[in-house]
Amino acid sequence: HLYALCSTTIFVFLSTGPTVLGSLVKGKVGQSVTVPCFYTVRGAQDITSMCWGRGRCPSSKCYQPIIWTDGQRVTERYNSRYILKGNLSMGDVSLTIMNAEEEDSGIYCCRVEISGLFNDQRTNHEVVIEKERISTASPHTYTSEQTS
């Protein structure tokens, strides 16, 4: 009975503890949208691999991976619209979505692989891409009325 209790406690801790909601990022269709993600780099020994994926962070790796890095450069990229513009070796692994589409909306996982048991840094980010709202009033009509 004691073993079963311990196993349950460990499972609950792993599934809820390390993952946090990182940010809510809003953007417009056609724009570039950047989803922030950073980790601490004090020296070369801290530089590590990481991945971005669609959906919430799983217990390991990334579901539906978008990008993998080895810490210094991008090693795998599954869509040319997803890029990392930041300085990877300084811990800036923010994801930029180029020419955003409505279908890009959803949860993204940033997972930084930190050595040690269950040490990975995992953050879930919500991305909302909206169509540009078209105003029914024409600004040209308004201007001409003002000057007449």
40, 93 Cβ separation under 8 angstroms: no
Name the DSSP letter for residue 46: G
- Please give the pLDDT value at position 136: 58
**pLDDT, tens digit, 9 for 90 and up, residues 3-57:** 444 443 333 333 344 556 789 999 999 999 999 999 999 999 999 999 999 999 9
- Split at pLDDT 50, 70, 90, the class of 116 is confident
Q: How far is CA 79 from CA 22, 48, 54, in A?
A: 23, 22, 12
Domains and CATH numbers, the chain: 23-130 (2.60.40.10)
pLDDT digits (tens, 9 = 90+) for 96-114: 999 999 999 999 999 999 9
Question: Residue 24, class by beta-carbon neighbours within 10 Å (0-12 exposed, 13-18 middle, 19+ buried)?
Answer: exposed
> Using alpha carbons only, how large is the chain's radius of gyration in Å?
21
> What is the rounded distance in angstroms from the CA atom of residue 3 to the CA atom of residue 12?
14
Q: Tell me the per-residue pLDDT of 121-133, one tens digit each, with 9 for 90 and over.
A: 999 999 999 998 7
